[in-house]
Every structure is written in structure tokens, then in C-alpha cells.
Amino acid sequence: MVKWLPTDIGRDLPGHRLSGIYPVDAVQWAFALLRKEAVKGNLDEDLFNGFKGVDDIDNCFVVKSKGWDIFQCGLSVGYHAPKASRGDNSFDGKKLNAENMTTFYKRWGLYDDFQKEIKGLTEEDLIHQFPAPEEWKEAKA
């Protein structure tokens, strides 16, 4: 995390640049190795819109709040297309992702800092696409 923004470590860097093991706030769960004891009974599967983002980061925060550590292991190799599990790049998919972001920020006490930093950014503004798709323009009309 950088302030309130989920951030991937080393995105777009050559793999040899991050070949160590680093403690982190959160990792994407595409390649996560988990201890059963850390997650069993600890994750709220009904809190977020499934497979629309942020739920993996929230899961990491939950696991850390239970006393577990999170590490980035640069000794492994894998390829994951960011946002691929969301299944679509539609306005509706982006809207569900924005709802997840708002839920996450509020749940972990980051919402006020987020709002101060962005100065009134709305949930609709969290939809990361410019220019706006035609369906968004139609939805706002």
C-alpha cells in the first residue's frame, strides 16, 4: 500500500530485480501460498463483489490483523494478467470494483485519508477508464 492505494511491488520490473523475500502489507492472491490456519474462519466471503478486485488485499489485512505475516517472495516465477479474474472491462464491472474499493477503505479506516487526499472523489470517479466508455455516458444521461 502507498498511503491508501493498493500497489504491486515491482510491476513491470525484470524478475531478477526483486529476488529477495520482503515483508509487505498485502499481495495479490493469484499466486499466494496460504496456511490453512491463517484463513479458515477468518475471511468474510459476502463482504465484496466477488472477483471484482480488492478482496485479496482485504483478506491480507484480515490475516495480518490475526497476527500472521505477509511476504512477497521474489524467488518464485509466475505470470498473472492484472484484473483478469474480473472477467470483463465493462462499466458494470468497473462500478463493482469501485464499490469494493469504497468498502475496503471504510472497513480499514482509510476512507477519510483517501477523501482528504483526493478531495471529494466519488465512487464513480474510482472507475479507472478515460475517456469514459459510451455505456457510462449513456448511464449518466
Count CB atoms within 10 A of the CB of residue 84: 9
Q: Is the Cα dihedral 50, 24, 116, 112 positive or negative?
A: positive
pLDDT for the residue 86: 67
**3-state SS, residue 37:** helix
Q: Rounded distance, CA 62 to CA 42, Å?
A: 7
Cell reading at 115: 477523501
Give residue-wise pLDDT tens across range 80-96: 776 676 666 777 888 88
pLDDT for the residue 92: 82
- pTM for this model (two decimals): 0.76
Give residue-wise pLDDT tens across range 110-137: 888 877 777 766 666 666 544 444 554 5
DSSP conformation letters of 55-123: HHHHHHHHHHHTT---EEETT------TTGGG---SHHHHHHHHHHHHHHHHHTT-HHHHHHHHTS--T
